[in-house]
Amino acid sequence: MIESARGIRGMAVAPHGLAAQSALAVLREGGNAIEAMIAAASTIAVVYPHMNSIGGDAFWLVSVPGEPVRAIDACGAAAQAASIAAYAERGITGVLPFRGSAAAITVAGTVSGWHLADEFSRKHLGGQLPLSRLLGDAIHYAQAGVPVTRSQHANTAGKLDELRDVPGFAGTFLPDGAVPAIGSLFRQPRLAATLEQLARAGLDDYYHGDLARSIAGDLQALGSPVGLADLAAHRASWRVPLELVHSSGRVYNMPPPTQGLVSLLILGQLDRLGTAAMDPLGADFVHSAVESIKQAFRIRDTTITDPAYMSVDPQSLLAPAHLDALARAIDPQRAAPWGRGRGPADTIWMGVIDGDGRAVSFIQSIYHEFGAGIVLPGSGITWQNRGCSFALNPAALNPLTPGRKPFHTLNPALARLDDGRTFTYGNMGGDGQPQTQSAVFTRTIMQGMTPQAAISAPRWLLGRTWGRASESLKLESRFAPEVIEALRARGHDVEIVGAFDETVGHGGAILRRPDGTLEGGADPRSDGCVAAW
């Protein structure tokens, strides 16, 4: 078993090692956790391009000792020209397309989140590192190239048939007309120039400057409804995070339009089901988690949308009486019926804690692998397809509406524990995000595993992700045979996947103790690492 990484002056975890190293380098130069995360976010947008991009969205949780936990919503809304009627005029009814310019419906918000976080760092935390430094590693990797990972190679090959004819995809992701080999250098010179422009002109240039005009012109020329006015109208915003009162402390996650509520609902139920005494690899724990997941997903699928359109206060659903009732409804010996999951997603989660205890939990995404698949010819930006979560039915919970925010699976997590510890954790993987969060938090905080052991241990996934059509309960093959059979006997539709299967997502975590020592874990299913100082 890989041991947890340990440090005291700072730590970063990311699903690509170069991003974690970018964050650590900033910490070593006197930067704070937010500056380190901006560096990591820009780097990973270059070195893990199938998972995320500066053409996507992002969410932040920020913890500064002695202050309330803060959240940044950097989610872009649907374009003003994006409506059910407009798509009907284009002959698109029923289901929105997943690929191509018609799937590029929403503004990309992630750079606005970097901008808001950087302003907070400078005004509130004394941050002084210039953007040229924070984006410096990303610029270099885009110019000089970065070795192709197994994950990028496999995802490019796996999605080639549906993406090769999407505008800009082949010219960017198929150098020399073929899937790039593992270890070969992958260069993105247009993206390098775009990042240099942001470092020189400022991050707001993405929405109001020369870069905004280039982005809007390319999107419109390709047939996307997103225009210059949509970019100019976008702002990242500070939000109050959702908060779960847990037996171990306070757990935080993002409010709608994300599914952060789901992650907290699961933990609230598990806290009441006696999981602290359960075997972290046993059938009782997996069954309890899966049944909690089902109830949380039912609430999600009837409740969560753009908060401007919600009739329920999501915080009220974390009330102790409501969680008590959910926990009582779980049959410890029988699986409840299960419907359909929301499907695949590609995302990265990263965490940073600096030497002063300031912590960031961050998630950045283009939704499906390679997003909409389009790459803008002027800027080299891959654009997200987050708008696929909208419905073309006006009676749906989340109908396509101009200016409306899409539902997001993204949800970074952070906990302040009663014993003085801080825990920042999260993962990628659509429906799998709250599932892995429940495993990593419970195994680490309630069951006493180290962060690395909790992340490396075999995991499960209920429903679809990464292109799988089945709605089964997927278990990694390292679960003991008797555990697998016990779950089948309780009525779970079990499917066995690989020993360390990317299907269950890429997790990560950092735990800071009151004495300042840090302990972190990265997912062996990813190309990531923990970088410690």
Asked if the structure places residue 396 within a domain, the reply is: no
**Tens-place pLDDT, residues 321-377:** 999 999 999 999 999 998 665 555 567 899 999 999 999 999 999 999 999 999 999
How large is the average pLDDT for residues 432-459? 95
Classify residue 435: in a domain, yes or no. yes
**What would the pLDDT profile of 269-302 be if each residue is shown by its tens digit?**
999 999 999 999 999 999 999 999 999 999 999 9
On whether residue 316 sits in a domain, the answer given is yes
Residue 520 located in a structural domain = yes
| Amino acid sitting at position 320 | P
Alpha helices in 243-335 (DSSP H): 260-272, 283-303, 320-328
Position 8 pLDDT exceeds 80: yes
Q: Residue 432: which pLDDT band, with cuts at 50, 70 and 90?
A: confident
Tokens standing for residue 503: 């299907």
Instruction: Check whether 464 has a pLDDT greater than 70.
Output: no
Calculate what percentage of the chain has a pLDDT beyond 90.
91
Is 149 a residue whose pLDDT tops 90? yes
CATH of the domain at 451: 1.10.246.130
* Per-position DSSP letters for 196-251, written without gaps between them: HHHHHH-TTHHHHSHHHHHHHHHHHHHT-S--HHHHHH---EEEPPEEEEETTEEE
Nearest to 36 by CA among 355, 324, 342: 355
Confidence band, pLDDT 50/70/90 cuts, at residue 430: confident
Domain count, the chain: 1
The answer to whether position 436 is within a domain reads: yes
- The pLDDT score that the predictor gives to residue 503 is 86
Q: Two tokens at 255? A: 């409010």
Return the pLDDT at 111.
Answer: 98
pLDDT for res 314: 97
Residue 246: domain span? 241-345+409-527
pLDDT digits (tens, 9 = 90+) for 205-245: 999 999 999 999 999 999 999 999 999 999 999 999 999 99
Q: What pLDDT is stored for residue 463 in this prediction?
A: 84
Beta carbons within 10 angstroms of residue 90's beta carbon = 11
Q: What is the mean pLDDT of the chain?
A: 95
Q: What mean pLDDT do residues 308-328 have?
A: 97
Q: Which has more pLDDT, 2 or 450?
A: 450
**With contact defined as beta carbons under 8 Å apart, do 333 and 273 qualify?**
no
- Check 347, 422, 436, 444 and give the catalytic one: 347
Q: What is the pLDDT of residue 345?
A: 58
CB 12 within 8 A of CB 33: no
3-state secondary structure of 103: helix
Ramachandran class of 505: left when φ > 0, alpha when ψ lies in -120 to 50, beta otherwise: left
Between β-strands 10-14 and 70-74, what pairing exists: parallel, antiparallel or unpaired? unpaired
Q: Has 436 been annotated as catalytic?
A: no
Q: Sorting pLDDT into bands at 50, 70 and 90, what band is 465?
A: low
Cβ proximity of 294 and 336 under 8 Å: yes
Residue 310 lies in a domain: yes
pLDDT greater than 70 at residue 58:
yes
Q: What is the mean pLDDT of residues 444-456?
A: 97
Taking only the tens place, the pLDDT of each residue in 487-496 is 999 999 999 9
234 belongs to a structural domain: no
Residue 315 lies in a domain: yes
User: For the segment 72-130, what is each residue's pLDDT rounded down to a tens digit?
Assistant: 999 999 999 999 999 999 999 989 999 999 999 999 999 999 999 999 999 999 999 99
